[in-house]
Structure 1
Amino acid sequence: MNDVTPENTDQAANTRQPAAPAQSHRLFRVYNVYRIVISLVLTGLLFVDPVQLDQPMRLPMQYQSGVLAYLALNVIIGLLLMQGLRPGQRHITFSVLVDILAIHFFLVTSSGITNGLANLIIISVAAGNILTPSRMGIFYAALAAICSLAVASWGVMALNDNVDNIVRAGSLGILYFGAALILQSVTRRMQRSEELADYRARSIVELEKINEQIIQRMRTGIVVTDQDGRIRLANGAAEELLFGLTGNEGHHSRVLPIALLEGLTAWKENPRKRPEPCQIQSASPMIQASFTRLDEENSDLILVFIEDLSKVTQQAQQMKLASLGRLTASIAHEVRNPLGAISHAAQLMQESGDIGEPDQRMLDIIQRHSRRVNGIIDNVLDLSRRRQANAELVDLPQWLEDFTQDYQQARGCQDGEPVSIELETVPTVPSARFDRSQIEQVLTNLCDNGLRYSQEQTGSPRLTLRVGATADGERAYIDIQDYGPGISEEYRTSIFEPFFTTDKSGTGLGLYLARELCETNQAHLALLKQDRPGCCFRITFAPSGRLI
């Protein structure tokens, strides 16, 4: 997606500045250090007898003043750079021009073009072409060549110097232009290489950010672990599947949960065998883990992919129920008409005075199953017509207290027994984001079931609603605890499947519809395992910051 090829390098370079400012700043600092060193050397040579150097001075006072002024200027620029001055193009141009003119001034006031200082001009021209690889660099070379010829010509005409000095000046001019052209070519190549390397580096960084975003937003959990199951890295989906709904006990220790550790051990013994689906805790969904080595050469790290099987199952069930819903909607009228006729006929027969007890039982069966078929049609139609969640941020303890009061007032008594609902809460509960009407429908269904089974078991319709927060403090939950006979182990994995029921009068769609409504609100409905009698259903809400 962001691959860099030679064909698109020029296009990438055109979208950027021609030179990297940071590199120019660094090179100019180095060049200024060189100028200070040269200035100090020239200043030190002032204290040496010119006769010992065999370099007689033409204008010694002007030469000394020029060297000291040159040193002062370079020191001032160095101090400004130390104070944070960010040199621009005008600073670079000014410095190179000053160097070319200053060194030629030293040549005029010292011994002319034959002085070794003339070689320093080549370095100044080279530096100018490195720092400014453009037409300005050629201008530096032309200016230096003209100045050198002028110094040599003045010496020949005014001071009777050897004419060969003009040839030397011309040779230096050729060197200036040669250095300018060669260094401009090399500098441009280096800049293109650096631009390409920088472009590729930025592309790699962008790809890393994109990959990180993709991995973090994937609904497949990805975990990197070592041979002992200690977690090195995990994306958001893995954190939620492994630790999000059950607290963060494993999150602190950063070790795979026991169920996955057993799967990891079995995989290491037989890598070809697919691990069995497992459940981290009773409130967690069923997950399928697959293992692979992160690097065949370095086998210390293992990559774990974690799939939420409940999502796959729900998608299959949704497709099945969508088809069933469309079928039911199309035939609801045809089914309900004869069903209503059957129910009405049974009701008329019950009102007849000469119906015996066996016939009365048969009529009760007809009425009961007519109501059940009608309930199935209503539930399937509700599934096919289900709207999207209209989520809002809710203060869960206050909302649950209002729901409890309204529910108790609406139910009043059940079979002559007053309904008793105990509400328990903790001091700190995070807010939850959900559709009030949909979650109220879920709670009403669970409370109806809990009260019915509690009364069958204890003779009293009572249950407990408990609101709290997961161990990480980010998710709120509601527990619905009844006091009924509970659910046997063989049925625990099937109670949320559509049309599964242990009640002869039930439709088998209540719990399935409840879980579907929870999933619509990014909540999770689960049956907790516990030692006490009865059932405890838990609704765990998503973090309040997550939008639905």
Structure 2
Amino acid sequence: MSNAIWDIFLLGLLIFNFGLLNYTNLLMLSILNAVLLSAMTLTLRQSVIYAITLVVVWLATAALLQAMPQVSWHKMGDVPPAEGFSRLIAVFRGNGIAWLEPAVVALGMAFLALLVSYLSTQGRDNRINVELSRRYTSQLRKMNDSIIEDMQNGLLVVSGDSIILTLNRQARTIFGLPATAKVPRTLGELLPELARRFGRWQHMRFNDSRTLDIGKGSYSLTFSALKSDDDMALTLLMLESIDESYQRVRETRLASLGRLTAGIAHEIRNPLSSVQSAADLLEEMSDDNKVHFLTDKIRNNTQRINNII
């Protein structure tokens, strides 16, 4: 805001220094240029303050320029300051000062400054939003690529004419492609059987449940249609190792069995604790040796069962 006011001040000095007051077109063009350049650097709230200041300064300058020829400046030094100020105020209150034209020009320039400031603010906000959106999209794409690369299943994205668009690290490992090796252009070049199954899926939209032998491994193959913004038919091919799938099933079953046995052991220990507590109470309530012999056997066997589970 201070820069904008400073621009107007410097422009006024240039006008008086180079005598531009007699060149109305050049004067208006210079002032308009300074106003617009200043308004482009302001926020909307600052531009409102700037527009009000512009109107006040413009009207005051116009009134001063019109009053200067009507004031006898050479006589001002012979009168007291208060009287000189009163004469100057009387000139401003007289009919010799035209306010309409300067007011219209000032309001027009203020409105133009507000409009330019609003448009420039919107332009800056749009540029910021576009940049933020671009960065967010870039980060999201990098995150998606990282997730796809680290997946345990082999993934390939192909177009409708079997052209390979991308594949992840696991897919390269499955097909024996080094990281620096060139990827075959089509599925037929990569694996003819894969291309045939993709062709059947395109016509029937049915995933073949038969395993696909690639190298020394067997894999299950699934196809999924992908949506694209440019209406391009894309398909995701997922290869999952049969051995790894069976291994995960076994691990899941073992984990379930472990939770089941832990629950059973807990349910057995609860009544065993009650039986042992009852044996201790029975032994305290009786002095009979036979009773003590039986309670000892109860405690020993409950402890044995507890150790087993």
Alignment correspondent of 2:142: 209
| Cα contact 1:103–1:118 (8 A) shared by 2 | no
Distance in 2 between residues matched to 1:227 and 1:178, nearest whole Å:
57
Q: How do 1:375-386 residues align onto structure 2 when only pairs under 5 Å count?
A: none
What amino acid does structure 2 have at the position aligned with 1:288?
Answer: S
Candidates 52, 66, 71, aligned match of 1:156? 66
1:118 is aligned to 2:11 = no
- In terms of Rg, which structure is larger? 2
1:267 is aligned to 2:177 = no
Q: How do 1:405-424 residues align onto structure 2 when only pairs under 5 Å count?
A: none
1:130 is aligned to 2:61 = no
| SS of equivalent residue, structure 1 residue 111 | helix
Q: How do 1:257-296 residues align onto structure 2 when only pairs under 5 Å count?
A: 257-282=191-216, 285-295=217-227
Distance 1:163 1:243, change over 3 A: farther
Q: Deviations over 1:364-401 (max 9, x none)?
A: xxxxxxxxxxxxxxxxxxxxxxxxxxxxxxxxxxxxxx
Identity of aligned residues (%): 18
Distance in 2 between residues matched to 1:289 and 1:305, nearest whole Å:
6
TM-score by length of 1: 0.35
Give the C-alpha shift of residue 289 in structure 1.
1.3
| Cα contact 2:44–2:121 (8 A) shared by 1 | no
TM-score by length of 2: 0.58
Alignment correspondent of 1:106: 15
Structure 2 portions without partners, runs of 5+: 72-94, 262-309
Distance in 1 between residues matched to 2:52 and 2:10, nearest whole Å:
12
Distance in 2 between residues matched to 1:164 and 1:243, nearest whole Å:
92
Give the C-alpha shift of residue 98 in structure 1.
3.6
| SS of equivalent residue, structure 1 residue 305 | strand
Give the C-alpha shift of residue 234 in structure 1.
0.5
| Cα contact 1:224–1:302 (8 A) shared by 2 | yes
Count of matched residue positions in the alignment of Structure 1 and Structure 2: 230
Give the C-alpha shift of residue 236 in structure 1.
1.6
| Cα contact 1:292–1:303 (8 A) shared by 2 | yes
Candidates 97, 103, 107, aligned match of 2:6? 97
Q: Deviations over 1:309-339 (max 9, x none)?
A: 2211112233456649x98xxxxxxxxxxxx
Candidates 242, 247, 262, aligned match of 1:314? 247
| Cα contact 1:259–1:279 (8 A) shared by 2 | no
Structure 1 portions without partners, runs of 5+: 1-88, 328-548
Distance in 1 between residues matched to 2:54 and 2:202, nearest whole Å:
75
Q: How do 1:124-203 residues align onto structure 2 when only pairs under 5 Å count?
A: 124-133=34-43, 136-138=46-48, 140-141=50-51, 144-159=54-69, 163=96, 166-203=99-136
Candidates 142, 149, 152, aligned match of 1:219? 152
Candidates 253, 272, 296, aligned match of 2:184? 253
Distance in 1 between residues matched to 2:147 and 2:239, nearest whole Å:
16
After superposition, the CA RMSD in angstroms is 4.0
Alignment correspondent of 2:169: 236
Q: Which protein has the bigger helix share?
A: 2
What amino acid does structure 1 have at the position aligned with 2:105?
Answer: L
Distance 1:195 1:256, change over 3 A: same
Give the C-alpha shift of residue 280 in structure 1.
0.9
| Cα contact 1:141–1:177 (8 A) shared by 2 | yes
Q: Deviations over 1:262-300 (max 9, x none)?
A: 322433453325252112112xx211112244458534x
| SS of equivalent residue, structure 1 residue 316 | helix
Distance 1:207 1:250, change over 3 A: closer
Distance 1:252 1:176, change over 3 A: closer
Give the C-alpha shift of residue 181 in structure 1.
3.5
Distance in 2 between residues matched to 1:230 and 1:257, nearest whole Å:
12
